[in-house]
C-alpha cells in the first residue's frame, strides 16, 4: 500500500496532536487551518490570524487569475510560455521542494502566501511537501508562482502514476479476428501474455488428424525436425525415417500411395481440418496482423496423425503408436512438455492405461477433451474418464455465459476443469482466407488448457507434469455453473497459473478439487461429504485414495504451497493414536471442526490444522510411525487447504489486522480482475486473478483477526 493510504489511516486514527501520527503538532494546526476555512470563524481569535493570511493568499491568487489568460487555466494547455505539462496529473495539488534551512514557520508562510495547504510532509524528505491549491488556481499557475518564490527550490505537478500494465506491449494482439475470440478474453489470456507469449523452445504434440503446416497463421509455429531431413534415412536413429514434419501413424492405411509417415498433413474434411483447428487455438502465431491469436504465440506444434479420412476414426493401436512416437522424440531430448488429444474414448482400456503411463514416465502432461456426450462420466465405473490418470487433465466446455455447454460431458471427479468450447474460431485446412467458421465442442475447449500449459512450460521449463497440473487446477476461477460439475468447480484462468496458490501435488494421481457438500472425497470410493464446517466450503481439497490408508512412510504426500495457507488434515477419529507427523509436537492442532461423511462408517473425519508459509508441505502416510489402531478399519485422510486472509490487510505494515478499512477496500474490488480499475492484488486471496466468492468467504471469515 502506498504512503498515502498509510497517512490517511494514521491521521484519522490519531485523536490528538503527537499521538501515533505522522503529523506533528503544527501539521495538526494546518488541519485546523483547513477546517477553519471550511467551517467558518468558529474560533475568532485563532482564526483571525489565519484569516488574515488567507486573505493575503487569496489576494495573490486573485492577482494570478487577473494576469492569467483564461485558456491558460486549462490543465492541458501551456502557460506563460511554459511547455505543456506532459502526462496526467492530479488537479488542485502540486509537489513542492523548499530551500534547505527554512524553518517550519517559514515554509508555512510560503504556502500561506498562495492560499495553499500542506497535505503531506515527508519524514525522510523534509524539504518536500505535497500541497493542495486553493480552488480556482491551476497547477500551471501555481507552479509558475512557486518557482518564482525565493524559498522554493522546485515545484511540479503530482503526476498520476499509471498502474503497471499486466500485459507489456503488444498487449492486445493485432490479429484480425482477435476481437471475436471470446475464449481468450474468458480465460484472461492478456494477463498471461503480460508474463509470456510462449516460446519456440516448448513443443506441443497434437495427436489428431494432422496439421496443415502451410497455413499462413501456423507455418511459423509448425515443428520441423532438422535432425531427420527428407533424405530417406533415419538420421536421428529413432526408428522413424524422415520424420521432418512430424509423424503419420495412419500412413499404412493411406488409400492413395504414397503417403509418407513423416508428413502428417491434415486431410480432414468434416470440419475443415480438426487437427488444424486444435493447432490454431493452441498456437496460431500471435500479433501477426492476420486471422487469430493462439493461446501460445510461439510454441511449436508437433503433429502426430492418428486419425484419417474418410471417417476420422482412430484405434487404440493408432493411439499407442502415436504415444510411441511421442516418447521416442522425448527420449531423444525433444522438449515436448504437453500432448493434446481431442477425441472420445468410451471405455476404460488397460492397454491405453499402459500407454498413458508410459507418456507419464516420459514426463509429459496430457490434455484431453471430456467428450460431447453431455453425460456424467463418473456414473459409469467402466467409463474411460471414470479412472484417474496421473498425467491427464480432462477438460469440459463452457458457453459464453460460463455455464457448462449442453453437449459437454462432466463429472466432479472424471472432468478436471472447463474452458470455452462454444463458438470457437480457429484456423482451418486449405482455406486461409476468409477464416473458417466457428465450431463447438470439448475438442476446442481442451486446446485452451494445452496452450496455457505450454505458456507455463515457456515461463519455467523445469516444471514437471505434476506442477503443471497443480498450477492449472488451483488457478481456476470458481464458477457457479461448474460447481459440482467438474473437480475444480471452475474454469481455466490463464493469468493465474503463474501465481497459483498450489504449485505441486504428489502422489501424481491425487486430485485437487473444491470442497462442496455432496461431493466425493476419495478417488477410489463413492463416499460423499455430507457436511462441511461453515467457511470451509470452496476450499481446495486433495482427493486421496482410500486404498492408500496403509501407507507407513513418514513422507508420503507432498503439497506445494504458493502462498501462506492453513492445511487441514481430515483424519479418521477411530484411530487410537494419530501418527507422529500429525501431532501437536509437529505443530498440528486438533480443531473442533469435522467433516461429515456418508458411505464410510466412520461418519465424521476430524480436522487437524497447521499454518504453513509458501513451501513444500510434506505429510506422512495414514499409518506412519506413531499411529495406533485398535478398532479395525481406519480410513485414509483427505486434505483441505485454506488460504490465509491475513494478506488482505491493505493498510500497510503498521496494521496487520483485517478491519473495516480493509473491508471497504475489499468490497470495492469484489468482481474485479487483474488490470481492471478496481483491482486489488492483496484482496485476491486465492490468487486466481479475480476477487470472487471464495475471496469474500475467506475475508469475512477472518474479519477482525490479526496476522
Partner 1 sequence: MAVREKASGGWTPGLLILLFSAPLTVVGCQGSGSDPDSMGQTTPPPKNPMVGLFAPDRSGPGENTLILSGATSGEDLDLIVRANSVSAALAGAAFDLVFDPENVTYVGYSAGDFFERAGAVTYGVAPRSDRLIVGVAAGPLSTGAGGSGNVVTLHFRAKATGRSGIAFDNQALCSVALTTACDRQPSLSWYGGTYSVS
Q: Which of 358, 339, 356 is nearest to 348 (CA)?
A: 356
Report the residue number, 28 or 68, with the smaller CB distance to partner 1: 28
Which range in 1-9, 199-207, 289-297, 356-364 contacts partner 1 by CB under 8 A? 1-9
Report the residue number, 196 or 672, with the smaller CB distance to partner 1: 672
Site for partner 1 in 266-305 (CB under 8 A): none
Which range in 5-13, 324-332, 470-478, 512-520 contacts partner 1 by CB under 8 A? 5-13
Report the residue number, 154 or 678, with the smaller CB distance to partner 1: 678
We find the least distance from the C-beta atom of residue 105 to partner 1, in angstroms, to be: 17
Report the residue number, 503 or 672, with the smaller CB distance to partner 1: 672
Q: Is 202 helix (H, G, I), strand (E, B) or coil?
A: coil
**Residue 340-359 contact track with partner 1, rule CB under 8 A, x = bound:** --------------------
Rounded Cα–Cα distance for residues 25 and 640 (Å)? 51
Burial of 645 per CB tally in 10 Å (0-12, 13-18, 19+): buried
DSSP run (H or E) holding 63: helix 44-67
DSSP run (H or E) holding 418: strand 417-420
Among 22, 24, 26, 28, binds partner 1 (CB under 8 A): 28
We find the least distance from the C-beta atom of residue 480 to partner 1, in angstroms, to be: 17
We find the least distance from the C-beta atom of residue 536 to partner 1, in angstroms, to be: 19
* 5 is an interface residue for partner 1 by CB under 8 A: yes
Interface with partner 1 (CB under 8 A), residue total: 47
Rounded Cα–Cα distance for residues 154 and 591 (Å)? 60
Which range in 4-12, 169-177, 359-367, 434-442 contacts partner 1 by CB under 8 A? 4-12
We find the least distance from the C-beta atom of residue 31 to partner 1, in angstroms, to be: 6
The b-or-e profile of 605-614 (16+ CB within 10 A means b, else e) is bbbbbbebee
* 227 is an interface residue for partner 1 by CB under 8 A: no
Among 16, 100, 101, 103, binds partner 1 (CB under 8 A): 16
* 609 is an interface residue for partner 1 by CB under 8 A: no
Q: How many helices (H) and strands (E) does the chain have?
A: 14, 23
Strands (E), 290-360: 300-305, 336-341
Q: Which three cell numbers stand for residue 306?
A: 492418428
Rounded Cα–Cα distance for residues 491 and 477 (Å)? 5
Report the residue number, 195 or 648, with the smaller CB distance to partner 1: 648
Among 15, 103, 164, 534, binds partner 1 (CB under 8 A): 15
Among 160, 613, 671, 707, binds partner 1 (CB under 8 A): 671
Among 56, 590, 670, 693, binds partner 1 (CB under 8 A): 670
Query: Residues 467, 470, 471, 474: what is their CA dihedral angle, to the nearest 10 degrees?
Result: -170
First to last CA, the chain: 17
We find the least distance from the C-beta atom of residue 564 to partner 1, in angstroms, to be: 20
Q: Which of 448, 470, 318, 449 is nearest to 390 (CA)?
A: 470
Strands (E), 35-175: 89-98, 117-121, 128-132, 152-159
Which range in 205-213, 402-410, 591-599, 668-676 contacts partner 1 by CB under 8 A? 668-676
Which range in 73-81, 339-347, 449-457, 669-677 contacts partner 1 by CB under 8 A? 669-677
Is residue 339 within 8 Å of 202, Cβ to Cβ?
no
Rounded Cα–Cα distance for residues 147 and 44 (Å)? 34
**Residue 672-701 contact track with partner 1, rule CB under 8 A, x = bound:** x----xx-x-------------------x-
**Residue 615-654 contact track with partner 1, rule CB under 8 A, x = bound:** ----------------------------------------
Among 499, 665, 673, 697, binds partner 1 (CB under 8 A): 665
* 122 is an interface residue for partner 1 by CB under 8 A: no
Q: Which three cell numbers stand for residue 99?
A: 530551500
Which range in 397-405, 439-447, 532-540, 660-668 contacts partner 1 by CB under 8 A? 660-668
Q: Which three cell numbers stand for residue 235?
A: 538420421
Strands (E), 438-553: 477-478, 490-491, 502-506, 511-514, 528-531, 540-543
Number of CB atoms found within 10 A of residue 558's CB = 15
Which range in 6-14, 103-111, 286-294, 432-440 contacts partner 1 by CB under 8 A? 6-14
Number of CB atoms found within 10 A of residue 66's CB = 7
* 73 is an interface residue for partner 1 by CB under 8 A: no
What pairing do the DSSP bridges indicate for beta strands 417-420 and 477-478? Answer: unpaired
Q: Is 620 helix (H, G, I), strand (E, B) or coil?
A: coil
Rounded Cα–Cα distance for residues 376 and 386 (Å)? 9
* 8 is an interface residue for partner 1 by CB under 8 A: yes
Which range in 27-35, 302-310, 319-327, 559-567 contacts partner 1 by CB under 8 A? 27-35
Strands (E), 428-579: 477-478, 490-491, 502-506, 511-514, 528-531, 540-543, 557-561, 565-571
Among 2, 100, 256, 401, binds partner 1 (CB under 8 A): 2
Rounded Cα–Cα distance for residues 397 and 543 (Å)? 23
Site for partner 1 in 31-50 (CB under 8 A): 31-32, 34-36, 38-39, 42-43, 46
* 705 is an interface residue for partner 1 by CB under 8 A: yes
Number of CB atoms found within 10 A of residue 117's CB = 21
Rounded Cα–Cα distance for residues 197 and 68 (Å)? 51
Report the residue number, 19 or 201, with the smaller CB distance to partner 1: 19
The b-or-e profile of 254-272 (16+ CB within 10 A means b, else e) is eeeeebbbbbbbbbbeebb
Report the residue number, 47 or 487, with the smaller CB distance to partner 1: 47
Which range in 15-23, 69-77, 235-243, 304-312 contacts partner 1 by CB under 8 A? 15-23
Report the residue number, 41 or 214, with the smaller CB distance to partner 1: 41
Rounded Cα–Cα distance for residues 336 and 327 (Å)? 9
Q: DSSP code of 638? A: E
- CA Rg, the chain, in Å? 32
Rounded Cα–Cα distance for residues 46 and 43 (Å)? 6
Among 661, 687, 694, 697, binds partner 1 (CB under 8 A): 661
Rounded Cα–Cα distance for residues 470 and 457 (Å)? 13
* 657 is an interface residue for partner 1 by CB under 8 A: yes
Q: Which of 638, 580, 583, 572 is nearest to 605 (CA)?
A: 572
Q: Is 234 helix (H, G, I), strand (E, B) or coil?
A: coil
Among 666, 687, 692, 697, binds partner 1 (CB under 8 A): 666
Report the residue number, 315 or 706, with the smaller CB distance to partner 1: 706
Report the residue number, 619 or 645, with the smaller CB distance to partner 1: 645
We find the least distance from the C-beta atom of residue 29 to partner 1, in angstroms, to be: 7
We find the least distance from the C-beta atom of residue 27 to partner 1, in angstroms, to be: 11
We find the least distance from the C-beta atom of residue 63 to partner 1, in angstroms, to be: 27
Report the residue number, 207 or 691, with the smaller CB distance to partner 1: 691
Is residue 690 within 8 Å of 477, Cβ to Cβ?
yes
Which range in 78-86, 275-283, 333-341, 658-666 contacts partner 1 by CB under 8 A? 658-666
Report the residue number, 5 or 122, with the smaller CB distance to partner 1: 5
* Residues contributing to the site for partner 1 (CB under 8 A): 1-2, 4-5, 7-9, 11-13, 15-17, 28-29, 31-32, 34-36, 38-39, 42-43, 46, 657, 659-672, 677-678, 680, 700, 703-705
Amino acid at each position: 500500500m502506498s504512503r498515502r493510504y498509510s497517512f490517511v489511516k494514521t491521521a484519522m486514527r490519531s485523536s490528538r496532536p503527537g499521538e501515533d501520527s505522522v503529523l506533528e503538532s503544527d501539521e495538526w494546526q494546518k488541519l485546523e487551518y483547513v477546517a477553519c476555512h471550511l467551517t467558518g470563524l468558529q474560533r475568532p481569535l485563532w482564526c483571525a490570524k489565519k484569516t488574515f493570511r488567507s486573505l493575503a493568499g487569496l489576494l495573490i491568487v486573485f492577482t494570478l487569475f487577473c494576469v492569467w489568460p483564461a485558456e491558460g487555466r486549462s490543465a492541458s494547455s501551456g502557460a506563460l510560455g511554459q511547455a505543456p505539462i506532459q502526462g496526467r496529473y492530479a488537479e488542485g495539488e502540486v509537489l513542492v521542494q523548499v530551500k534547505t534551512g527554512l524553518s517550519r514557520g517559514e515554509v508555512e508562510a510560503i504556502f500561506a502566501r498562495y492560499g495553499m495547504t500542506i497535505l503531506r510532509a515527508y519524514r525522510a524528505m523534509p524539504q518536500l511537501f505535497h500541497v493542495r491549491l486553493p480552488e480556482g488556481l491551476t497547477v500551471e499557475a501555481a507552479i509558475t508562482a512557486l518557482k518564482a518564490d525565493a524559498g522554493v527550490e522546485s515545484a511540479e505537478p503530482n503526476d498520476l502514476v499509471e498502474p503497471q500494465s499486466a500485459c507489456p506491449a503488444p498487449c492486445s494482439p493485432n490479429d484480425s479476428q482477435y476481437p471475436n475470440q471470446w475464449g481468450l478474453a474468458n480465460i484472461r489470456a492478456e494477463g498471461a501474455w503480460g508474463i509470456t507469449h510462449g516460446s519456440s523452445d516448448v513443443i506441443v504434440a497434437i495427436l489428431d488428424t494432422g496439421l496443415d503446416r502451410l497455413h499462413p497463421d501456423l507455418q511459423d509455429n509448425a515443428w520441423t525436425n532438422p535432425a531427420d531431413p527428407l533424405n530417406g534415412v533415419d538420421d536421428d536413429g529413432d526408428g522413424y525415417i524422415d520424420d521432418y514434419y512430424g509423424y503419420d501413424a495412419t500412413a499404412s492405411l493411406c488409400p492413395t500411395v504414397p503417403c509418407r509417415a513423416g508428413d502428417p498433413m491434415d486431410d480432414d474434411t468434416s470440419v475443415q481440418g480438426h487437427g488444424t483447428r486444435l493447432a490454431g487455438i493452441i498456437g496460431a502465431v500471435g500479433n501477426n496482423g492476420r486471422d487469430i491469436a493462439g493461446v501460445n504465440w510461439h510454441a511449436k506444434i508437433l503433429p502426430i496423425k492418428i486419425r484419417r479420412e474418410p471417417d476420422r476414426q482412430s484405434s487404440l493401436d493408432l493411439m499407442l503408436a502415436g504415444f510411441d512416437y511421442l516418447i521416442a522424440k522425448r527420449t531423444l531430448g525433444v522438449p515436448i512438455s504437453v500432448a493434446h488429444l481431442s477425441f472420445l474414448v468410451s471405455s476404460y482400456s488397460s492397454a491405453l492405461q499402459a500407454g498413458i503411463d508410459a507418456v507419464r514416465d516420459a514426463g509429459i502432461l496430457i490434455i484431453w477433451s471430456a467428450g460431447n456426450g453431455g453425460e456424467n462420466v463418473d456414473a459409469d465405473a467402466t467409463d474411460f474418464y471414470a479412472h484417474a490418470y496421473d498425467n491427464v487433465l480432462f477438460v469440459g466446455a463452457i458457453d459464453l455465459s460460463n455455464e457448462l455447454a449442453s453437449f459437454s460431458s462432466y463429472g466432479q471427479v472424471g472432468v478436471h476443469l472447463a474452458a470455452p468450447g462454444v463458438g470457437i474460431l480457429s484456423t482451418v485446412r486449405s482455406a486461409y482466407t476468409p477464416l473458417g467458421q466457428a465450431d463447438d465442442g470439448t475438442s476446442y475447449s481442451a486446446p485452451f488448457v494445452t496452450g496455457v500449459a505450454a505458456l507455463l512450460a515457456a515461463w519455467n521449463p523445469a516444471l514437471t507434469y505434476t506442477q503443471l497440473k497443480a498450477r492449472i487446477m488451483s488457478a481456476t476461477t470458481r464458477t457457479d455453473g461448474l460447481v459440482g460439475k467438474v473437480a475444480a468447480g471452475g474454469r481455466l484462468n490463464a493469468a493465474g497459473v503463474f501465481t497459483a496458490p498450489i504449485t505441486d501435488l504428489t502422489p501424481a494421481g491425487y486430485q485437487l478439487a473444491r470442497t462442496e457438500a455432496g461431493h466425493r472425497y476419495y478417488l477410489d470410493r463413492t463416499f460423499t461429504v455430507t457436511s462441511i464446517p461453515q467457511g470451509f466450503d470452496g476450499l481446495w481439497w486433495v482427493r486421496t485414495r482410500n486404498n492408500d490408508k496403509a501407507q507407513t512412510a513418514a513422507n508420503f504426500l507432498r503439497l506445494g504451497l504458493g502462498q501462506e495457507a492453513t492445511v487441514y488434515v481430515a483424519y479418521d477419529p477411530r484411530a487410537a493414536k494419530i501418527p507422529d507427523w500429525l501431532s501437536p509436537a509437529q505443530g498440528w492442532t486438533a480443531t473442533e471442526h469435522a467433516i461429515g461423511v456418508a458411505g464410510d462408517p466412520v461418519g465424521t473425519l476430524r480436522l487437524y490444522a497447521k499454518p504453513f508459509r509458501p513451501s513444500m508441505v510434506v505429510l506422512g502416510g495414514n499409518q506412519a510411525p506413531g499411529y495406533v489402531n485398535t478398532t479395525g478399519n481406519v480410513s485414509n485422510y483427505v486434505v483441505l487447504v485454506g488460504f490465509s486472509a491475513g494478506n488482505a490487510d491493505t493498510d500497510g505494515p503498521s496494521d496487520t489486522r483485517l478491519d473495516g478499512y480493509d473491508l471497504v477496500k475489499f468490497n470495492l474490488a469484489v468482481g474485479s480482475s487483474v488490470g481492471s480499475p478496481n483491482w486489488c492484488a492483496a484482496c485476491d486471496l486465492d490468487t486466481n486473478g479475480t476477487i470472487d466468492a471464495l475471496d469474500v468467504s475467506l475475508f469475512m471469515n477472518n474479519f477482525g483477526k490479526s496476522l
